[in-house]
């Protein structure tokens, strides 16, 4: 079981690296078999390839994101957060709140993320993030 300090470091690294657009540091913060449901209900992104696609879609031309943790609660090997998301999609501003659940492995790496959010009324996020599971 990771320590509270390991969990706090993994979460802090996630937000700091993302907001600094430090892709190498961000990617290094995740376990090899990372599973990302962003959002829950869409197709999961699995492994470092899934992270790469998530990063590329978030920062392609006309897109940008900053994320701000508002509230963090840690229980066992998980962290639950309320997050403010400030972005641009096709050059248009987007602001949304999300609830995010992170599982941290024994090595202090992020192993699983589930995010819960809906796009603001009248705005559609990148279709990559909103694909629905088939069948």
d(CA 15, CA 17): 6
What was the pLDDT predicted at 122? 66
pTM of the model: 0.89
Report the CATH number at residue 69: 3.10.450.50
How confident is residue 126, by pLDDT bands cut at 50, 70 and 90?
A: low
Report if residue 125 sits inside a domain. no
The pLDDT of residue 31 is above 70? yes
Predicted confidence (pLDDT) per residue in 65-123, tens digit: 999 999 999 999 999 999 999 999 888 898 999 999 999 999 999 999 999 998 767 66
Sequence-distant (6+) residues with CB within 8 A of 47 are 32, 33, 34
Percent of the chain with pLDDT over 90: 74
Stretch 43-47: mean pLDDT? 91
Report if residue 65 sits inside a domain. yes
d(CA 98, CA 117): 5
d(CA 132, CA 126): 13
Report if residue 114 sits inside a domain. yes
Copy the structure tokens of residue 76: 């066992």
Report if residue 12 sits inside a domain. yes
3-state SS assignment for residue 26: helix
More confident residue, 130 or 119: 119
What was the pLDDT predicted at 43? 84
Domain around 103: 4-119
Task: Write down the mean pLDDT value for the chain.
Answer: 90
Can you tell me which residue has the tokens 């706090």?
Answer: 8
Report if residue 129 sits inside a domain. no
d(CA 14, CA 7): 11
What was the pLDDT predicted at 133? 46
Please give the tally of structural domains in the chain. Answer: 1
Report if residue 130 sits inside a domain. no
Report if residue 132 sits inside a domain. no
Copy the structure tokens of residue 5: 């300090």
Report if residue 124 sits inside a domain. no
How confident is residue 28, by pLDDT bands cut at 50, 70 and 90?
A: very high
Query: In sequence order, which ranges of 33-119 are alpha helices (DSSP H)?
Result: 47-58
């Amino acid at each position: 079981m990771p320590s509270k300090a390991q969990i706090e470091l993994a979460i802090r690294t996630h937000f700091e690296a993302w907001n600094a657009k430090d892709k190498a540091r961000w990617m290094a913060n995740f376990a090899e078999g990372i599973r990302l449901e962003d959002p829950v209900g869409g197709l999961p992104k699995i492994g470092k390839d899934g992270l790469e696609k998530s990063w590329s879609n978030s920062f392609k031309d006309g897109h940008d994101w900053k994320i701000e943790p508002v509230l963090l609660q840690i229980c066992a090997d998980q962290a639950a957060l309320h997050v403010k998301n400030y972005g641009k999609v096709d050059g248009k501003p987007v602001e949304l709140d999300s609830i995010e659940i992170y599982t941290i492995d024994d090595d202090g790496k992020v192993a699983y993320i589930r995010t819960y959010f809906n796009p603001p009324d009248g705005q559609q996020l990148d279709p990559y993030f909103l694909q629905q599971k088939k069948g």
